[in-house]
Amino acid sequence: MAETDPRIVVDGIDVHYGAAQALFGVSLTVGAREVVAVLGGNASGKSTTIKSVLGLVRPSRGTITLDGAPVNGQRPDAIIARGVASVPEGRRAFPEMSVYENLLLGAYPRRHEAREIAGDLERVYEAFPRLKERRSQLAGTMSGGEQQMLALARAWLRRPTLVCIDEPSMGLSPRFVDQVYEVLQGWKAQGITILLVEQNARMALELADRAYVLQHGRVAVSGTASDLASDPQVRKAYLGAA
Amino acid sequence: MELFLSQILNGLAIGQVYALIALGFSLVFGVANIINFAQGALFMLGAFIAYSAIAWFGLPLVPAAAVSVVIVAILGLLLERIALRPLIGAPYVAPFLSTLAISTIIDQSAEIVWSPESQPFPASISSTTFFIGNAYITVTDLVIFGFGAAATVALTLFVSFTWTGRALRATAQDASAAAQLGIRTDVMRQIAFGLAGALGALSGILVALYFQSVFPQMGIPFGLKGFAAALLGGLASIPGAVVGGLLLGIGETLASAYVGDSYRDAIAFTLLLLMLLVRPNGLLGGGRLDALGGAAAAAGAMPTTSLLASSSSQQSALRAYYLPPWGFLAVGAAFTLVPLVVSSTYVLQALIYGFIFALLSASTSLVSGSVGILSIGQAAFFGVGAYAVGVFARPYGLPADATLVIAIGLTALVAVGAAIPLLKLTGHTAALGTLAIGQIGFLVFLNWVSVTRGPMGILNIPHPVLELLGGLRFATTEQKYWLVLGFVAVALVIAERYVSSPIGRVWRAIREDRLAALAAGLPVRRYILLAFAVSGALAGLAGGLFAYVQQVVSPESFTVETSILVLTMAVLGGLGNLTGAALAGFALAILPEFLRGFAEWRMIVYGLLLLVALRVRPQGLLGAR
């Protein structure tokens, strides 16, 4: 549990897509250096929750605060400017730019720190030799797993204190899912705060400190990751236990 | 051989100008995912502002050009701010139509400010001519080529190696992902528009130097050629724009040297259509054009080719209001009574034009709305119908039943033929394809003198006689009123029956998601051709009736302006909603009668109407269907 001031406080937000309502009074907090997972099935509202935090959709009710200041209705770039990085759903690498340029764009908010960026690029290449090999290749020609690594590395080059990650395991083979979570474990060890949206509850609960389970746009259960992992209902619904 | 070489050198110079216009298109298309129809208007303004700076304020060429480039770049920013920013999240078709409206307003304002006449450009570069062997090239050509090339290289370096340039490209490829990296995508859009304005102005000035004249209507043909060049090379590709521009320049210079100067434009647009047929994505282009929202729509949560869909998922559904097929008969029946009450031929004449444009607007709404291929060339079909009546009623003396059947059949055939190059296209590309068709139609009416009598037109078309009704002759205004009303009402009933039938449902399926329609096993090509046939038939009938009412057919009735006007009507009524289209067509056609004395303001009023409508009610008055 977070003893210090929370980084993110989502308080009772409703989100509408046209006439359809996706979120109903969702509240959650993410403490400093904490890893919080938002779990749930399809159309449960997990992605909408993270999109609201990033300013990609606008809640019709409720507030969102980032480090104590309200961010409702702010543009994504304004939120990113406050030390946040995003690993978007579906990776979203820029397909017609090289791997190098994709990585570089991760550092866009701190583009004036040329020397530090060069050093960080070297560190990324060390951690992901695959990306180094392919740095001049167009990102669109890489496999899904490689693109996910690229998206993670791109977010890291932001040197964020808080990362929002939307379904990092989506569409990946088990081997790549393991690799993704290895990277995230590393980030957790570095003290980066993480808000993670995930359908793969087993992997997410291994990484997370706390988790929220969404159902039909409402928070159904919440608690520490270990409590949730042993909760019979959660086990039955999301972990495939008999 | 020397002539050939000289033409190539000459073509390279003008081609470099086309490349600059094309770059303006590519930048904006890449970053904002819209075809900026107003690029031609910015180009024209660039030429005229430089002209005024020289002619009115006595500035030398270079400072005048610099002033013009700066002013037009600012206008580019304003364009984004006024016409496009408010439409983020509106249907994909809205921003495109918005630039169309702005371009209409700018072009018409320019005619008011600078007069519609062509004026000599008051500056020139030395006309010294160099010889390379026996081929010649002028200093003007060299300067134009040099400037164009330098601007292209500077732009390429900027986009490739600066942070802003990279951010621009990132926004172009995936705006949502770019925003999540902290890039201000709205600022990137503005930069793209500002650069497009600067490039437009520069190219306008170079063209003015090349042809030594400026005229307010220069925006559309050059804008279209710039677009053709961009498409030729592959939209959103900088090297593609340059290659496309140079190829187009060389191609049309050779054509004008060996085929004849009056065919210069016709050949350029034919080249565009051929290109669309063979390689819709251009020489160096990717496949990002398939959706009207460009990559954003293609990568969206729900990929769509629909021009009515929008990038914003937080929009509510809207309903459409429309008449059942028999409703048109009922309304028509009510209108038959008007001549019994109103005896003013002036009012009846206005109503007749109202009916004709109601039909024409419905024909546009059918292809543009139901099938989703935005038609900016409907005037060509309208013209084919009118000329069919002109040619067969006058020299051959056929009765109206025969001429109208010919008009309908011939126009349907022409429309089907015109649709063939468009079959693989969706979204913006298809729209620009129809624009090219409209231009080719106009050029044919103007230049095929042996049939159309060229600019003179066909005069003294006889009063319509219906042999089927025992040789009934419609000579008075009242009689023509009833004739037109009858034909229009019946045609609208048939059109509405198509749109409301399972065929109409297939058309809308093709509009919403062409890939899904194909995957569902629908014969998409056949249905698109059918839609063009029906739309062409309606437009042909409208044209035929128009010829009988006017008793004169001449090319100026069938310009791009007419096409834009009719599209405006269709959009205002609600795309795909024939009731709305007919209503808006009728209303907008009789509106100028109330604006007498403001004839030159008419297009401006239409442009403003369209702009306001897009902002307030982008789905049209009665709702898109």
- Cβ <8 Å between A88 and B180: yes
In angstroms, the Cα distances linking B223 to A171, B21, B136, B200, B240 are: 44, 7, 28, 9, 17
- Cβ <8 Å between B180 and A154: no
Mutate to test the interface with B, among A54, A92, A147 (most CBs of B within 10 A): A92
Pairing type for strands A6-17 and A61-66 reads antiparallel
**What is residue B261's predicted lDDT score, i.e. its pLDDT?**
76
Whether chain A has a CB inside 8 Å of the CB on B167: the answer is yes
Whether chain A has a CB inside 8 Å of the CB on B170: the answer is yes
Query: Mean per-residue pLDDT for A219-240?
Result: 86
**Residue B302 pLDDT class (50, 70, 90 cuts):** very low
- Cβ <8 Å between B176 and A88: yes
Q: Which residues of B touch A94 (CB under 8 A)?
A: 169-170, 173-174, 177-178
Nearest residue, CB atoms, A94 vs list B163, B170, B317: B170
Q: Is the dihedral of CA B257, B263, B264, B270 positive or negative?
A: negative
CATH entry 1.10.600 includes domain B315-616: no
A54 to chain B: closest CA residue:
B180
Domain boundaries, chain B: 2-114+126-281, 315-616
Whether chain B has a CB inside 8 Å of the CB on A56: the answer is yes
Neighbours of A42 (CB within 10 A): 7
Mean pLDDT over each residue of chain B, to the nearest integer: 86
pLDDT in tens, B229-256: 888 877 777 788 888 899 889 888 888 8
Q: For each of the domains in chain A, give its residue range(s) and CATH number, in order of start.
A: 8-92+160-239 (3.40.50.300)
**What is residue B303's predicted lDDT score, i.e. its pLDDT?**
47
- Could you tell me the fold of the domain covering B2-114+126-281? ABC transporter involved in vitamin B12 uptake, BtuC (1.10.3470)
**Residue B8 pLDDT class (50, 70, 90 cuts):** confident
Task: Compute the distance between CA of residue B605 and CA of residue B602 in angstroms, rounded to an integer.
Answer: 5
Question: Is this complex's ipTM strictly greater than 0.95?
Answer: no
pLDDT in tens, B519-550: 888 999 999 999 999 999 999 999 999 999 99
Query: Mean per-residue pLDDT for B180-190?
Result: 91
Is B289 a residue whose pLDDT tops 60?
no
**Within a 13 Å sphere around the CA of A11, how many CA atoms are in the beta-carbon half?**
13
Nearest residue, CB atoms, B181 vs list A58, A75, A108: A108
Whether chain A has a CB inside 8 Å of the CB on B592: the answer is no
Query: In the numeric block, which tokens belong to residue A142?
Result: 């890489």
Pairing type for strands B472-473 and B465-466 reads antiparallel
- Cβ <8 Å between A108 and B183: yes
Is residue A22 classed as helix, strand or coil in its secondary structure? Answer: strand
C-alpha closest to that of A177 among A165, A185, A168: A168
Chain B 281-300, CB below 8 Å of chain A: which residues?
A: 286
Chain A 108-137, CB below 8 Å of chain B: which residues?
A: 108-109, 111
More confident residue, A181 or A18: A181
Task: Compute the distance between CA of residue A44 and CA of residue A63 in angstroms, rounded to an integer.
Answer: 20
B2-114+126-281 and B315-616 in the same fold? yes
Put simply, whether the predicted model's pTM sits higher than 0.80 gets the answer yes
Query: Mean per-residue pLDDT for B321-336?
Result: 89
pLDDT in tens, B346-393: 889 999 999 999 999 999 999 998 998 889 899 999 999 999 999 998
